[in-house]
Amino acid sequence: MIGIEPSIARADMIRCVLCDKAPCAEACGLLDVDRLLRSIWFRNEQSAAQSVPAHNPCLVCPAPCERACVRAGEVPIQDLINRLYYQVKPDCETSLPQDEERLRCDLCGIELENPFLISSSVVASTYEMCARALEAGWAGICFKTVCSLDIREASPRFSAVTGADGSIIGFKNIEQLSDHSVAENMEIFRRLKANYPSKFILASIMGKDEQEWGELARLCEENGADAVELNFSCPNMMEEGLGSDIGQIPELVERYTAAARKACHIPILAKMTPNVASMSPAAEAARRGGADGLSAINTIKSVVGVNPHTYVSAPAVHGRSAVGGYSGSAVKPIALRFIAELGQNPALAGMHISGMGGVETWQDALEFILLGSGTVQVTTAVMQYGFRIIDDLKQGLNLYLAEKGVASVREIVGLGLDTLSSTTETLERDTIVYPHHIRERCIGCGRCEISCRDGGHQAIRLDKNRRPVLNGKACVGCHLCVLVCPQKALVPSARRIPARKKPAPGTGK
């Protein structure tokens, strides 16, 4: 069933670098090998499995794809495709949809072919980039923030936190707004709307005062933008009183939103800063000012890495650095928390929420939708993997909706909000879910014992065969062991057990 723990995971292809014009695909000639590998990477393995023909050519193939690989012999391509065919394909309960009608949605009443937009950033900063994204299948773009400021960028301006395979987990930037003139950006909008009339153009803007916020909003409408996004959240501005400085002050959010609302008639989204304890005060102010929707989150103020020899954090610019904006997979839990806050706030009911922050796979996007996002925006994953990720975003979400019998993605927006509380006081505490051991998966590494002993409740020991034995009297059902097991040999039990009652204070009974 789609959405459960995948049969094949990124760890199974950890040495694959997801090449452009992949040599493995060129060497094969029978399968879109690179496309299948990407689908595994982006947790779309069920769609990939159904793309393998009934007569799997890998069964009798000498695997020229593996020899052609840029890391020849290091990626088990043939084994991965055979596993798709033999392990994943038989479990596929729903055929691949023949169309994408389930993905159709809207942003403030404007129809979109799917919920996926490119967010305001370097990936949507020129006509050519936006055109490539739209042709790849994205429903629309939010163009890099238009302003009248003299933008001069630092070099370098990116840094990252990477995982064991080298892929980016967290991404820091000190980049600012569009370095094109207002007139140049308006020309781009006109060309995009003329050449892609069915696609959605969201114009991000930032002004210095009420007059400029209004003027930019008016110009964007006149030159083809379908909606305006007010950037109250960029953390990287050279001048004070701009970007996230505004987003932290509800009175300014309301004032500048009202100025934009007065000047244009198209929908307005206010882009919220996450550099606050609560997003609701500024969001409610945006609504009072006339905003039709909200977008969140922008990047989080951060410091990434400090060089132990120069003592300068990254990115280093002539021996100095600065606090910058953090994005990527690492920020998704924080983004979801803010999306849920907006989605659960009755004062914001009916406002469109365009969610972003760490979206990389279709399941990431689904989580935003379930917590209230009507559309989803992406940047950091595109910077790392390219516009091509839209294929798996659409295909994976479409297959999920088909399997669930859902006719439209609109039907699932916010379905996860009712089960989520802002505090833990509402949670049931009278039962325990013990970990269950799947013996055939266990390799006897002892990671569960180490973590339970040194970070848990000393409830696990290894027997003479190096298999975990659970002490039910000591186990509290925290599931640390489940999380650290590299083989997924420990999983939650299927049933809850009544918790042991603590003795009354001072009685021992």
Residues annotated as catalytic are 234
Residue with tokens 């922050």: 357
Distances (CA, A) of 469 to 481, 493, 497: 12, 15, 18
Closest C-alpha among 244, 338, 247 to residue 286: 247
| Closest by Cα among 320, 327, 337, 329 to 301 | 327
- Rounded-to-integer distance, Cα 352 and Cα 259, Å: 20
Helix (H/G/I), strand (E/B), else coil: 166: coil
| CB crowding 222-233: b at 16 or more within 10 Å, else e | ebbbbbbbbbbb
Residue located via tokens 């169309």: 99
Helix (H) or strand (E) holding 283: helix 280-289
Tally of CB atoms within 10 A around 306: 12
Angle at 354 between CA 353 and CA 358, to 5 degrees: 125
d(CA 340, CA 344) in angstroms, rounded, equals 6
**Matching residue, tokens 């209004």:** 214
Helix (H, G, I), strand (E, B) or coil at 93: coil
Q: Where do runs of H (alpha helix) occur along 42-90?
A: 45-51, 64-68, 77-83
- CB count within 10 Å of CB 470 equals 18
Q: Give the burial class of 292: count Cβ atoms within 10 A of its Cβ; 0-12 exposed, 13-18 middle, 19 or more buried.
A: buried
CB atoms within 10 A of CB 164: 8
Instruction: Tell me the C-alpha distance between 56 and 58, whole Å.
Output: 5
**Burial class of residue 347 (count of CB atoms within 10 Å of its CB; 0-12, 13-18, 19+):** exposed
Instruction: List, in order, residues 6 or more apart from 222 with CB less than 8 Å away.
Output: none
Helix (H) or strand (E) holding 188: helix 182-195
**From CA 92, how far away is CA 49, in angstroms rounded?**
8
Give the DSSP letter string of 353-405: EEE-SS--SHHHHHHHHHTT-SEEEE-HHHHHH-GGGHHHHHHHHHHHHHHHT
* Burial status of residue 467 (CB atoms within 10 A of its CB: 0-12, 13-18, 19 or more): middle
Q: Which residues are 378's β-sheet partners?
A: 118
Rounded to a whole number of angstroms, the CA Rg of the chain reads 25
